[in-house]
Amino acid sequence: MAWSGFPDAAKFEFVEVDMLDTKRFLEVFLKLKNEWVDGFEIKVVVENDKTVISANREGMLSLAKQLMMLADGMPGDHVHYDEYNSLEEGSAEMIIERI
């Protein structure tokens, strides 16, 4: 039975969340937020099974700072890049993960 205050609740799957995971996510997110250099431009294109990452100086510095942050992080820490949050329009989505 769906909760009456939320008419579409039956459509959602509820997941138990570990508070330590949530805290870790916020730590990484807040650190990452400060790792962008003003004026960055980054584009990711996949052509013929090759991935090309193109960036201006500020974009390269931003990526370098974020890679250093991930290197100091924990296995599983990762960053999603796409045209809606950091990449130029038409870019392919990219995920970089610490192993």
pLDDT 10s digit of each residue in the chain, 99 long?
Answer: 444 444 445 554 555 555 556 666 666 555 656 678 999 999 999 999 999 999 999 999 999 998 998 898 889 888 889 999 899 999 999 999 999
Q: What is the pLDDT of residue 1?
A: 40
Distance CA 19, CA 85 (A): 25
For residue 83, what pLDDT is reported? 93
What are the structure tokens assigned to 52, written together?
A: 């090309």
As given in the structure block, the two tokens for residue 40 are: 């960055």
* Per-residue pLDDT, 21: 64
pLDDT at 85: 87
Can you give the pLDDT at residue 31?
60
Cα–Cα–Cα angle for 84, 89, 71, nearest 5°? Answer: 60
Q: Which pLDDT value is given to residue 91?
A: 97
Alpha helices in 1-99 (DSSP H): 19-33, 57-71
pLDDT value for 77: 86
What ranges do the domains of the chain cover? Answer: 40-99
* Cβ neighbour number for residue 55 with a 10 Å cutoff: 18
**CA angle (97 as vertex; 19, 42 as ends), nearest 5:** 115
